[in-house]
A and B are shown apart, each in its own frame.
Chain A
């Protein structure tokens, strides 16, 4: 399988979905950091 993917394949819809999921994870992390900040448990 890695042999088949060794060739550079053009980005498809799934790559876009991965970025979207990455953005969602980052957004969620930001929300949790803001929540922790209110308890002075972050960078304190």
Chain B
């Protein structure tokens, strides 16, 4: 064998060993790609199925979401309208709130004033209660006195009734007695009767006016002296005319006082005591005769 043949044999040997080693390594550390492929294919089918389910679910979710979005839009519209209404209402309420706030401040100020007034009134009420108690005490005393006076009044009323009855009885008796007295031509007034016992005071006066009767003779005369001079009804005065122009004094008669004034009197002419002549204005009257 030549040298080249030997080298080729060695090279062939080396290459054969390398081939065997490479084939052995491939066999030893190989991966079964087919099995892996089937596994991955199965996994892919499952994943595609999942994808389909997920897509269906996604469509459903999309539809429901769209519906929700539509509902939400409609609700947003309603809410927007409601918000506008509420905004307007809020503005009105704010305005009313401001007015109420002002009213509240006014009422608070008024309430404070009323509270001060109430304190003042309470103090005044206490004072009034004290005064009321004092007045009540006085009222009780007055009521007691009033009851006592009422009792006295009732007693006096009974007494008054008795006296009235006695008075009526006495009036009847007095009328009867007056009738008897008048029938005898006597004065019935006790005062006049009492004073008639005294003579008239000395005084002089004049005839101021004469009233004539149907026969043209004097019936009543008015004189210039009256009660201030001490005259009383029933007093009798003499009438006379002093002598003038050479004439003699003349006695004209008597007159009787029937009506009396402070500075004058009306007298009736006593016919049965009229003597000479007719009484005229300016004649003298006197009680000194």
Instruction: List the interface of chain A (C-beta within 8 A of B).
Output: 1, 9, 12, 14, 17-18, 20-22, 24-25, 27-32, 34-35, 38-40
Ranked 5 nearest A-B pairs via Cβ: A31-B23, A21-B16, A28-B23, A24-B16, A24-B20
Contact residues of A: prevailing secondary structure: helix
Which positions 21-42 of chain B face chain A at CB distance < 8 Å? 21-24, 26-27, 30, 32-34
Q: B29 → chain A, closest Cβ, in Å? A: 11
Residues in A neighbouring B19, C-beta threshold 8 A = 24-25, 28
Interface status of B289 (Cβ within 8 A of chain A): no
Residue of A nearest to B31 (CB): A38
Residues in B neighbouring A32, C-beta threshold 8 A = 23, 26-27
Q: B172 → chain A, closest Cβ, in Å? A: 175
Query: Is B2's CB under 8 angstroms from A22's CB?
Result: no
Residues in A neighbouring B24, C-beta threshold 8 A = 27-28, 31
Interface status of B5 (Cβ within 8 A of chain A): yes
Residues in B neighbouring A28, C-beta threshold 8 A = 16, 19-24
Q: B37 → chain A, closest Cβ, in Å? A: 10
Residues in B neighbouring A18, C-beta threshold 8 A = 9, 12-13
Query: Is A25's CB under 8 angstroms from B9's CB?
Result: no
Q: A41 → chain B, closest Cβ, in Å? A: 9
Query: Is A34's CB under 8 angstroms from B17's CB?
Result: no
Interface status of B6 (Cβ within 8 A of chain A): yes
26 contacts between A and B (CB under 8 A): A1-B2, A9-B1, A12-B1, A14-B5, A14-B6, A18-B9, A18-B12, A18-B13, A21-B13, A21-B16, A21-B17, A24-B16, A27-B20, A27-B24, A28-B16, A28-B22, A28-B23, A31-B20, A31-B23, A31-B26, A31-B27, A32-B26, A32-B27, A34-B27, A35-B27, A40-B34
Residues in A neighbouring B32, C-beta threshold 8 A = 38
**Contacting A38 at CB < 8 Å: which of B2, B6, B21, B34?**
B34
User: How far is B32's CA from A40's CA once the two chains are assembled, in angstroms?
Assistant: 11
Interface status of B110 (Cβ within 8 A of chain A): no
Query: Is B30's CB under 8 angstroms from A35's CB?
Result: yes
Query: Is A17's CB under 8 angstroms from B9's CB?
Result: yes
